[in-house]
Amino acid sequence: MIIDKKVIDPLSTYNMALKKIEESGIIPTKQRRVLAKILFEKGNRHISAENLFDEVKREDRKISMATIYNTLKQFTNLGLIREIVVDKNKSLYDTNNKPHYHLYIEDEGKVHDIPTDNINLNLPSVPACLNLHNIDVIVRVRSLKDDKKR
């Protein structure tokens, strides 16, 4: 299996995000710029609200959880990031907005991208009364070492 670790021009992704924020009518405040930087400068990420909070702190800044949640929702609505539902206990946000699937390592809580061309998904067409929104594919695995658990 090939796990996608390719970083697709992170700087331009960040700049594109900033541009989208400006164009969208919301103010590119300090907080939003800091969060966009963390989200997009390092390439494709799968990050939780709490992780984001910690990374902000690591840069000697502070952004409240309320703002982080608000911003994540706004960025999601702008199509900059995508919420991925792999575990009901914690929302993860995916900065890769190109089509791809996910490999979820359950005992580590880690998510990796799988390029769509690694999965041959031959879906019959959706009925006319329904609007296809997305197809989520989550390959759930466990590290062998933790196999006894659960």
Partner DNA sequence: TTACATGCAAAGCATTTGCAGATAA
Partner DNA sequence: TTATCTGCAAATGCTTTGCATGTAA
Considering only residues 89 through 148, tell me which ones interact with DNA, judged by CB under 7 A: 89-91
Identify whether the C-beta of residue 63 lies closer than 8 Å to the C-beta of residue 33.
no
Give the list of residues 6+ apart from residue 80 with CB closer than 8 angstroms, or none.
17, 20, 21, 36, 39, 40, 95, 97
User: Which amino acid is it at 100?
Assistant: H
CB of 107 to DNA, least distance (A): 16
| Piece of the chain touching DNA by CB under 7 A; list 6-14, 27-35, 108-116, 133-141 | 27-35
- Residue 70 makes contact with DNA by CB under 7 A: yes
Choice between 47 and 114, CB closer to DNA: 47
The site partner of 118 among DNA, its own copies, none (C-beta below 5 to 8 Å per kind) is: its own copies
Interhelix angle 30-41/10-23, rounded to 10 degrees, is 150
Q: What are phi and psi of 145, to 5 degrees?
A: -60, -25
The site partner of 135 among its own copies, DNA, none (C-beta below 5 to 8 Å per kind) is: its own copies
Which SS3 state, helix, strand or coil, does residue 54 take? helix
* Binding interface with its own copies (CB under 8 A): 1-2, 85-88, 91, 105-106, 118-127, 129-144, 147
Q: Provide the binding-site residues for DNA, judged by CB under 7 A.
A: 26-32, 48-50, 62-67, 69-71, 73, 88-91
